[in-house]
């Protein structure tokens, strides 16, 4: 039986591709994915056959993968980060109901939250929430409720898809909502191009984050009440009381 491996590539650097993901990609003669993500691995696997679709064509991409697998070949569905975090894993299972003869296997990868956290220091050491600001598939009204709920509960918040050409003011709008419950000097961080050429990171207070321009390749971190800057790094204490008391 042919098989589809839904593979998380991690942030993009070859060194951050897991051994399991590399093995799955090596096994598959056909690679399917969003054009930008496919380009991340073309040099590493030049002998493969690549099939791509642009953004917003995710369902077509899934069907394409299943149709190829029906021909009797193993297929890799490529995702950035982790396939199960804003990736293709869920949609593949939904579309796969029409292809019961094809087996799916999900291969995890380093997602932007953990990849970016490692660059910034240790911002996710306690409870945190991950929220996408893209309203392409989720109404902005629901995103607002999630932002307010996470801020009220004092979660560290990691924002995916914080801005784009059509959503230039979304990070500012999100910060305005968060300021309902978080202080202006809350320690925050941004990382652009995690693990890729041109990687850039910065630690800054929430009031400055509000005025900062970012893009779709940027991941944003907003600290909780205990998050602080230590030696230029963003650090959230685990919560051990002896550490908090300075013991």
Residue 245: pLDDT over 60 = no
175 in Cβ contact with 167 (< 8 Å): no
Q: Are residues 93 and 50 in the same domain?
A: yes
Element (H, E) at 30: strand 30-34
Residue 90 within any structural domain of the chain: yes
Residue 144 within any structural domain of the chain: yes
Last-in-domain residue among 107, 133, 162: 107
pLDDT on residue 19: 94
Q: Are residues 117 and 223 in the same domain?
A: yes
Last-in-domain residue among 107, 135, 153: 107
Q: Give the CATH number of the domain where residue 176 resides.
A: 3.30.950.10
Instruction: Tell me the per-residue pLDDT of 175-192, one tens digit each, with 9 for 90 and over.
Output: 999 999 999 999 999 999
Q: Are residues 130 and 231 in the same domain?
A: yes
Q: Are residues 65 and 147 in the same domain?
A: no
Using 50, 70 and 90 to split pLDDT, how confident is the model at 225? very high
Residue 213: Cβ within 10 Å count = 10
Q: How far is CA 205 from CA 184, 186, 221, 228, 237, in A?
A: 7, 5, 11, 10, 17
Q: Are residues 230 and 120 in the same domain?
A: yes
Q: Give the CATH number of the domain where residue 46 resides.
A: 3.40.1010.10
Using 50, 70 and 90 to split pLDDT, how confident is the model at 247? very low
Q: Are residues 145 and 86 in the same domain?
A: no
What is the rounded average pLDDT for all residues in the chain?
93
Beta bridge partners of 76: 5, 31
Residue 154 within any structural domain of the chain: yes
Residue 10: pLDDT over 80 = yes
What 8-state DSSP symbol labels residue 243?
A: H
pLDDT on residue 240: 61
pLDDT on residue 40: 85
166 vs 3, which has greater pLDDT?
3
Q: Are residues 223 and 159 in the same domain?
A: yes
pLDDT on residue 96: 97
- pTM, two decimals, is 0.91
pLDDT on residue 239: 75
Q: Are residues 19 and 69 in the same domain?
A: yes
Instruction: Tell me the per-residue pLDDT of 61-106, one tens digit each, with 9 for 90 and over.
Output: 999 999 999 999 999 999 999 999 999 999 999 999 999 999 999 9
Last-in-domain residue among 54, 86, 107: 107
Residue 246 within any structural domain of the chain: no
What average pLDDT does this structure show over 123-149? 96
Q: Are residues 230 and 119 in the same domain?
A: yes
Q: Count up the domains in the chain and report the number.
A: 2
Residue 246: pLDDT over 60 = no
Q: Are residues 138 and 228 in the same domain?
A: yes
The token pair that represents 134 in the structure block: 């893209």
pLDDT on residue 241: 63
Q: Are residues 169 and 133 in the same domain?
A: yes
């Amino acid at each position: 039986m042919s098989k589809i491996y839904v593979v998380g590539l991690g942030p993009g650097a070859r060194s951050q591709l897991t051994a399991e993901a590399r093995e799955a990609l090596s096994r598959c003669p056909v690679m399917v994915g969003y054009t930008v993500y496919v380009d991340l691995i073309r040099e590493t696997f030049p002998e493969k056959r690549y099939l791509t679709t642009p953004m917003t064509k995710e369902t077509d991409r899934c069907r394409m993968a299943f149709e190829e697998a029906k021909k009797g070949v193993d297929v890799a569905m490529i995702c950035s980060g982790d396939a199960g975090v804003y990736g293709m894993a869920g949609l593949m299972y939904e579309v796969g109901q029409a292809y019961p003869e094809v087996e799916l296997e999900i291969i995890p990868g380093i997602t932007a939250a953990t990849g970016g956290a490692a660059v910034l220091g240790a911002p996710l050491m306690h409870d945190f929430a991950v929220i996408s600001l893209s309203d392409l598939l989720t109404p902005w009204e629901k995103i607002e409720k999630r932002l307010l709920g996470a801020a009220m509960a004092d979660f560290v918040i990691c924002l995916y898809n914080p801005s784009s050409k059509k959503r230039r003011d979304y990070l500012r709008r999100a910060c305005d909502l968060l300021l309902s419950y978080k202080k202006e000097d809350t320690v925050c961080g941004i990382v652009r191009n995690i693990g890729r050429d041109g990687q850039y990171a910065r630690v800054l207070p929430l009031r400055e984050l509000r005025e900062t321009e970012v893009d779709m390749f940027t991941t944003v971190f907003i600290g909780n009440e205990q998050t602080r800057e230590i030696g230029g790094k963003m650090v959230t204490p685990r919560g051990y009381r002896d550490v908090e008391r300075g013991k």
